[in-house]
């Protein structure tokens, strides 16, 4: 079980208060948990080591190490520092593979997360979301769950091209084939979004081990409970992971749920 955790970021005219819960689980089938999670204000992320690839677990842990080295704790970061951490993570993961490695011998990991950043005098404070691969970032606003990130996967490209439906994508045999990953190429192409920091915001970050077992409606039902800890002492992250395990837990499952407010 994970307790609801809290942190604060001192700003020039206010205090950003962050409340979050985190859980990662090996699941019911896999022998090794290749997921890694970081919940260390101002950065929250999930990295899912590429299954079937060499050193997937080490690859995801390498991303956490690089972010920890690059980002100061409990202070607003900047978009430039976050991008530098992403690109440095890519370099570090590529260093795990030998020069003649190819295909499934190449180490890699997905990366999805958010960071509280100062975009400068003209921009102000924002949440910066970022994604490489098929781990996801969602927003939870006024009872509506919305996927912010776009999966970098073969089936998502088929959906975008109108070749298959969203429902077909959920059971397509190539749904695990991702088209971008940290460590896969010399230059990593990360999707990023800057969202103005509002009075109250909530984000869900997860590996595909959650979304393989729970659809968006099932996830939204848990978030709509609006709890910190349930009667059994479980956090939001605990409940989501437990429900994924009850549905089969065929993959590693990782969840980070973040709520922010200003004083």
> DSSP labels for 148-215?
-S---BHHHHHHHTTSS-HHHHHT-TTTT-BS--BTTSSS---EEEEEE--SEEEEEEE-HHHHTT--
- Position 173 scores a pLDDT of 61
Does the pLDDT of residue 172 top 80, yes or no? no
User: Does residue 35 contact residue 209 with C-beta atoms inside 8 Å?
Assistant: yes
pLDDT in tens, 106-147: 689 999 999 999 988 777 899 999 999 999 999 999 999 999
Q: Which CA distances in Å does 261 have to 6, 193, 201?
A: 11, 19, 7
Does the pLDDT of residue 156 top 90, yes or no? no
Above pLDDT 70, what percent of the chain? 88
Query: Residue 92 has which token pair?
Result: 């570090």
Q: Which CA distances in Å does 167 have to 213, 217, 248?
A: 14, 13, 19
- Position 50 scores a pLDDT of 86
Sign of CA dihedral 158, 162, 163, 167: positive
First to last CA, the chain: 29
- Edge to edge, what strands does the sheet with 35-40 contain? 35-40, 43-48, 111-118, 125-132, 191-196
Other beta carbons within 10 angstroms of residue 164's beta carbon come to 15
- Position 163 scores a pLDDT of 75
Does the pLDDT of residue 155 top 80, yes or no? no
Query: Residue 8, Cα to own-chain centre: how many angstroms?
Result: 21
Mean pLDDT over 178-206 rounds to 94
Query: For the chain, what is the mean pLDDT?
Result: 90
User: Does residue 34 sit in helix, strand or coil?
Assistant: coil
Does the pLDDT of residue 211 top 80, yes or no? yes
- Whole-angstrom Cα distance, residue 30 to residue 209? 11
- Position 23 scores a pLDDT of 97
- Whole-angstrom Cα distance, residue 21 to residue 105? 34
Does the pLDDT of residue 4 top 90, yes or no? no
Kindly report the pTM of this predicted structure: 0.92
Q: What pLDDT band is residue 98 in, cutting at 50, 70 and 90?
A: low
Query: Residue 242, Cα to own-chain centre: how many angstroms?
Result: 18
Mean pLDDT over 228-250 rounds to 92
pLDDT in tens, 45-63: 999 998 555 588 999 999 9
Q: What pLDDT band is residue 1 in, cutting at 50, 70 and 90?
A: low
- Position 85 scores a pLDDT of 98
User: Does residue 46 sit in helix, strand or coil?
Assistant: strand
DSSP 94: H
pLDDT in tens, 11-47: 988 899 999 999 999 999 999 999 999 999 999 999 9
């Amino acid at each position: 079980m994970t307790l609801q955790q809290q942190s604060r970021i001192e700003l020039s005219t206010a205090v950003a208060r962050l409340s979050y819960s985190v859980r990662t689980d090996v699941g019911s089938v896999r022998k090794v948990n290749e997921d890694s999670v970081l919940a260390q204000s101002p950065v929250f992320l999930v990295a899912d080591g590429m299954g079937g690839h060499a050193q997937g677990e080490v690859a995801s842990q390498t991303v956490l190490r690089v972010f920890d080295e690059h980002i100061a704790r409990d202070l607003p970061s900047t978009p430039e520092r976050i991008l530098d951490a992403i690109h440095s993570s890519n370099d570090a993961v590529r260093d795990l593979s030998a020069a003649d490695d190819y295909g499934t011998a190449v180490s890699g990991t997905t990366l999805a997360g958010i960071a509280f950043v100062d975009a400068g005098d003209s921009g102000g404070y924002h949440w910066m979301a970022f994604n490489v691969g098929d781990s996801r970032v969602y927003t939870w606003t006024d009872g509506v769950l919305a996927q912010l990130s776009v999966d970098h996967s073969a089936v998502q490209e088929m959906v975008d091209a109108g070749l298959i439906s969203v429902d077909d994508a959920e059971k397509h045999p190539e749904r695990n084939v991702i088209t971008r990953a940290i460590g896969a190429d010399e230059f990593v192409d990360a999707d990023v979004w800057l969202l103005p920091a509002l009075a109250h915001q909530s984000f869900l970050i997860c590996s595909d081990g959650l979304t393989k077992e729970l659809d968006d409606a099932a996830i939204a039902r848990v978030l709509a409970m609006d709890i910190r800890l349930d009667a059994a002492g479980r956090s939001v992250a605990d409940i989501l992971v437990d429900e994924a395990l009850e549905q089969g837990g065929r993959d590693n499952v990782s969840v980070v749920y973040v709520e922010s407010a200003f004083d």
